[in-house]
Amino acid sequence: MDWDDRLAEQLVEEFFAAHPGSSHPFDDAGTLHDIRHQVEDAKIRLSSEESQTVRIVHEGLVATIELTRGEFETRTLDLLDRAIEITRNALAAAAQRGVPKVDEIILVGGSSRMPAVTDRLIAEFGLQPRLHEPELAVAKGAARYGFDQIYHRMVAAGRVEDAQRLARRTGLSPEQEERLANQSLRPVVPRSVGIMCSDGEYDSVVHLIHGNDPLPAAATATLFTGADNQTSLTVQIVEQAGPTESPDPTANRLVALGSVKLAPAMPAGTPVELTLSMTRGGLLRAEFNPEQGAQPHDFRLRVGNISDADIPAVRDRLAVIKVR
């Protein structure tokens, strides 16, 4: 959930307060689109103004709602706390890798325009953050990363002259191209990935691949059947949802769900090996040990987010993931 979601929640709450007998505004695609558009506009305006008036129309009913910066900051304080915690973790990880201090904090993303973000960063870290193309920085970074990848692949394939021509066409000076040629990009795991485990009473998450591990990465876990003659083994693959790795299931989110058919007449406690691997491009693969009656099978997905509302549909779609 992000800042836009919190504003949308407030608009819906106040609409229901004005029209308690109405259906949910999100049930109508047109109303939902209008709310999302107005939320984005209101968030931007609240970065420079103390209040903003929004008009919601649904099923012929109208609600005029005043949003204030103070209430918005109160409703989203936990999101800002989480962002600060993530920043602390990033600085701690950098320190462990030989970067004891940073010279500057650069803000990107639309929500970084909010005064509360700047004020909190100054208070927490003593640095005046710099706002730099918040709406374009991520897209430009992705484009730059793609260009760097193409350049280095050309060089690795022996197409040095082609790589040099590409660099010149993009306007790189000889000095900039030399820096590009000498730099090394090392992709890492974005968030820890693991499996949901149970001791029969409590559920917990065991992470096999950890955030910031170099890519490609792989790890193997041994699972055990819970009953005699168990015919299948269901696996939930989850990724870290919070700022730090945690075994708490609520601090993780489901990214893949599947089952594997087991060999017959297996006693309780029979081990089955599961190997999770992730490619340099972030493609996740799950493979079971074929010696235990489960042929290798790929879930093949990119690490992403499955919301709680999506889980039933995902279970239905992935029910076909069975290895025979």
Residue 29 lies in a domain: yes
* Both tokens assigned to 216: 């490609």
Tell me: do 202 and 310 sit in the same domain: yes
Q: What average pLDDT does range 138-146 have in this prediction?
A: 83
Cα dist from 89 to 147, 193, 244, 245, 258, whole Å: 29, 18, 8, 11, 32
What CATH number is associated with residue 219?
2.60.34.10
How many angstroms from the chain centroid is the CA of residue 111?
Answer: 17
Tell me: do 198 and 168 sit in the same domain: no
Tell me: do 111 and 165 sit in the same domain: no
Most confident of 49-53, 87-91, 188-192: 49-53
Residue 323 lies in a domain: no
Residue 31 sits in which domain range?
Answer: 3-75
Tell me: do 141 and 124 sit in the same domain: no
Residue 231 lies in a domain: yes
Residue 20 lies in a domain: yes
Determine the 3-state secondary structure of 26 from DSSP. Answer: helix
- Residue 83, C-beta contacts closer than 8 angstroms, at least 6 positions apart: 117
Residue 187 lies in a domain: no
Residue 302 lies in a domain: yes
- Residue 221, C-beta contacts closer than 8 angstroms, at least 6 positions apart: 195, 206, 208, 273, 274, 275, 276
0.85 exceeded by the pTM? Answer: no
Per-residue pLDDT of 222-264, as tens digits, reads 888 888 888 777 788 888 887 778 888 888 988 887 777 777 7
Tell me: do 211 and 102 sit in the same domain: no
Q: What average pLDDT does range 26-54 have in this prediction?
A: 90
Determine the 3-state secondary structure of 77 from DSSP. Answer: helix
